[in-house]
């Protein structure tokens, strides 16, 4: 049995997938990529928020999730991605109704301070507006309140020591300035848990170092074969790409991914390059990865501490000889395998839909946690 491991980013934002710009014809035996609006986000949201989702607040130093691309589970891709508990939210989307977590934490104003005083656990958060909207959902906040947990927004323009006190600082910001800010604060307040510490996030912000962690896992003795897609990093000079690809012996088509994954929409803009002549049109710094056929289904695995949650998502269809002969150029990929593309309840061939075996997920979680803390 073989396993293919493909890392996805820890920090990744959301873009609305441009429609109809992916030219691959769907082979007859593979389900076409469904239009996201037709798929239920609510179902997935509740699946993730209900037990076994466990905000036990014995927080792991690294909270992460893995995405597996799978053709059966014998050919899997594994990724690391960010926090998510519901359907996707675009960076560009209007802010709309964002519930102020402080309001949910207490019955009377000033909500934040009162809530913090009454709480058993105070979580200060520094998240983008998009992330607040996608992560701090009313359902999560209500659940948190029941458990005596309050969420207090951090004002990034004021010293952290003037705010709080916090038990946990939850953040998903990666600027150098913010990192220094956090590190200075943590020196004075080592009792506060920072989720996650900047140095732990660092190697997950880069698709090269992220892949290395996964590629180095020794799971082959556990399952017969574990591998990652072959990839190449291009830092600059797009004109050098065809030679670099030839020297590395990579086989087209190639998936091009921005090297850095920093929570911006841009870092999720993937393309598929069919032919060598088009490669100089790509925009470094990026990683070029061999496209791995995986039957159009991907498994995303979310791990917090010992809790594991797997969801099944639609993914890119396999590339066949017809595609290879009939496509040239670079194609921007839509945002595939996002929350809106749930295949959990789709009527799929059981050989494709079969979830990765639990022991493998547990082993992967353990191994990666050991390496990422
Ligand atoms: N090497 C590959 N071969 C085949 N398909 C791939 C490959 N790499 C990525 N994909 C497909 O593209 C999707 C997006 O890839 P990736 O996760 O690397 O990007 P992302 O924007 O960081 O995604 P996420 O939203 O999961 O954070 C995957 O879910 C998978 O469907
Ligand atoms: O919905 P899933 O399939 O779990 O994909 C997640 C991505 O993997 C994360 O990278 C996104 O976080 P960022 O937008 O911070 O990059 C995350 O964004 P969100 O937390 O704002 O929804 C999701 O898009």
Q: Which residue has the higher pLDDT, 144 or 264?
A: 144
Q: What is the pLDDT of residue 213?
A: 80
Ligand 1 atom closest to Cα of residue 300: 26
Contact predicate 48/99, CB 8 Å? no
Cα radius of gyration (the chain): 21
Top-confidence range, 109-118, 227-236, 364-373? 227-236
Q: What is the pLDDT of residue 72?
A: 32
Asked whether residue 243 is domain-assigned, the answer is: yes
Q: What is the ipTM of this complex?
A: 0.97
The pair phi, psi for residue 277, each rounded to 5°, is -60, -25
* Predicted TM-score of the model (pTM): 0.76
Q: Which residues line ligand 2 (CB under 6 A)?
A: 9, 11-14, 81-84, 88-89, 130-131, 134-135, 172, 263, 300, 338-339
CB atoms under 10 Å from CB of 355, counted, come to: 15
Q: What is the pLDDT of residue 219?
A: 72
Asked whether residue 150 is domain-assigned, the answer is: no
- Quote the ligand 2 centre to 83 CA distance (angstroms): 6
For residue 227 and ligand 1, the question of a CB distance below 6 A is answered with no
The pair phi, psi for residue 287, each rounded to 5°, is -110, 140
pLDDT surpasses 60 at 217: yes
Contact predicate 313/66, CB 8 Å? no
- Quote the ligand 1 centre to 6 CA distance (angstroms): 8
pLDDT surpasses 70 at 296: yes
For residue 69 and ligand 1, the question of a CB distance below 6 A is answered with yes
Q: What is the pLDDT of residue 227?
A: 77
User: 360: domain CATH number?
Assistant: 3.30.470.20
Asked whether residue 263 is domain-assigned, the answer is: yes
Q: How high is the mean pLDDT of the chain?
A: 74
Q: Which residue has the higher pLDDT, 213 or 320?
A: 320
Question: Which residues, in sequence order, are CB contacts of 366 under 8 Å at separation 6+?
Answer: none
pLDDT surpasses 70 at 126: yes
What is the mean predicted confidence (pLDDT) over 149-160?
A: 94
Asked whether residue 83 is domain-assigned, the answer is: no
Domain count, the chain: 1
Distances (CA, A) of 280 to 152, 193, 319, 328, 366: 47, 45, 22, 13, 40
Positive or negative: CA dihedral 308, 217, 9, 168: positive
Asked whether residue 102 is domain-assigned, the answer is: no
What is the mean predicted confidence (pLDDT) over 153-181?
A: 92
Q: What is the pLDDT of residue 224?
A: 62
The pair phi, psi for residue 44, each rounded to 5°, is -70, -35
Q: Note the Cα 31 to chain centre separation in Å.
A: 23
- Poorest-pLDDT segment among 55-59, 88-92, 137-141, 157-161: 55-59
Band of pLDDT at residue 354, cut at 50, 70 and 90: confident
- Quote the ligand 1 centre to 8 CA distance (angstroms): 6
Question: Which residues, in sequence order, are CB contacts of 50 under 8 Å at separation 6+?
Answer: none
The protein residue with its alpha carbon nearest to ligand 1, atom 1, reads: 291
Q: What is the pLDDT of residue 5?
A: 56
Band of pLDDT at residue 223, cut at 50, 70 and 90: low
Q: Which of 79, 81, 131, 286 to mutate to test the pocket of ligand 1 (most atoms within 8 A of CB)?
A: 79
For residue 338 and ligand 1, the question of a CB distance below 6 A is answered with yes
pLDDT surpasses 90 at 221: no
Q: What is the pLDDT of residue 10?
A: 35
Could you give the 3-state DSSP secondary structure of residue 124? strand
The protein residue with its alpha carbon nearest to ligand 1, atom 29, reads: 337
Q: What is the pLDDT of residue 202?
A: 82
Q: Which residue has the higher pLDDT, 118 or 272?
A: 272
Contact predicate 123/149, CB 8 Å? yes
Written as six digits, the tokens of 137 are: 């959902």
Ligand 2 atom closest to Cα of residue 337: 3
Q: What is the pLDDT of residue 271?
A: 97
Contact predicate 24/317, CB 8 Å? yes
Asked whether residue 151 is domain-assigned, the answer is: no
For residue 65 and ligand 1, the question of a CB distance below 6 A is answered with no
For residue 228 and ligand 1, the question of a CB distance below 6 A is answered with no
What percent of the chain stands above pLDDT 90?
47
What is the mean predicted confidence (pLDDT) over 101-114?
A: 46
pLDDT surpasses 90 at 117: no
| Domain containing residue 320 | 3-11+51-63+204-371
pLDDT surpasses 90 at 273: yes
Asked whether residue 146 is domain-assigned, the answer is: no
Q: Is 304 exposed, middle or buried (0-12, 13-18, 19+ CB in 10 A)?
A: buried
Residues 28-75: tens digit of each pLDDT: 232 333 333 322 333 333 333 332 222 222 233 333 444 544 333 333
Q: Which residue has the higher pLDDT, 106 or 184?
A: 184
Residues 170-182: tens digit of each pLDDT: 998 888 899 999 9
- Poorest-pLDDT segment among 153-162, 168-177, 348-357: 348-357
DSSP-assigned beta bridge partners for residue 286: 234, 258
For residue 289 and ligand 1, the question of a CB distance below 6 A is answered with yes
Q: What is the pLDDT of residue 20?
A: 29
Nearest to 210 by CA among 49, 18, 40, 371: 371
For residue 286 and ligand 1, the question of a CB distance below 6 A is answered with no
Q: What is the pLDDT of residue 351?
A: 82
Asked whether residue 191 is domain-assigned, the answer is: no
Task: Count the helix, strand and coil residues of the chain and give each as a percent rounded to the nearest 5.
Answer: 30, 20, 50
- CA–CA distance, 327 with 25 (Å, rounded to integer): 10
């Amino acid at each position: 049995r073989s396993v293919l491991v493909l890392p996805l980013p820890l920090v990744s934002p959301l873009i609305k997938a441009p429609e109809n710009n992916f030219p691959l014809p769907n082979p007859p035996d593979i389900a076409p990529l469904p239009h996201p609006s037709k798929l239920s986000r609510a179902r997935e949201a509740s699946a993730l928020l209900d037990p076994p989702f466990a905000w036990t607040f014995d927080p792991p130093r690294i909270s992460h999730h893995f995405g597996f691309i799978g053709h059966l589970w014998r050919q899997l891709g594994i990724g690391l991605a960010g926090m998510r508990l519901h359907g996707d939210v675009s960076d560009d989307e209007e802010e709309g109704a964002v519930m102020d977590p402080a309001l949910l934490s207490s019955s009377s104003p000033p909500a934040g301070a009162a809530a913090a005083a009454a709480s058993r656990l105070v979580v200060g958060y520094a998240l983008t507006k998009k992330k607040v909207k996608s992560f701090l959902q009313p359902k999560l906040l209500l659940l948190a309140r029941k458990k005596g947990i309050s969420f207090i927004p951090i004002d990034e323009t004021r010293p952290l020591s003037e705010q709080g006190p916090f038990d946990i600082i939850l953040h998903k910001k990666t600027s150098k300035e913010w990192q220094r800010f956090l590190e200075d604060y943590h020196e004075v307040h080592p009792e506060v848990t920072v989720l996650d510490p900047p140095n732990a996030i660092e190697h997950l912000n880069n698709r090269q170092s992220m892949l290395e962690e996964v590629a180095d896992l020794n799971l082959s003795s556990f399952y017969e074969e574990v591998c990652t897609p072959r990839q190449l990093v291009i830092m600059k000079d797009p004109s050098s790409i065809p030679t670099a690809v030839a020297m590395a012996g990579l086989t087209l088509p190639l998936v091009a991914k921005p090297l850095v994954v920093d929570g911006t929409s841009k870092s999720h803009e993937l393309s598929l390059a069919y032919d060598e002549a088009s490669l100089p049109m790509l925009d470094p710094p990026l990683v070029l990865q061999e496209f791995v056929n995986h039957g159009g289904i991907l498994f995303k695995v979310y791990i917090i501490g010992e809790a594991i949650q797997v969801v099944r998502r639609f993914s890119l269809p396999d590339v066949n000889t017809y595609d290879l002969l009939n496509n040239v150029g670079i194609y921007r990929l839509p945002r595939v395998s996002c929350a809106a593309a749930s295949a959990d309840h789709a009527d799929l061939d059981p050989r494709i839909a079969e979830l990765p075996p639990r022991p493998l997920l547990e082993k992967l979680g353990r191994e990666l946690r050991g390496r990422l803390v």
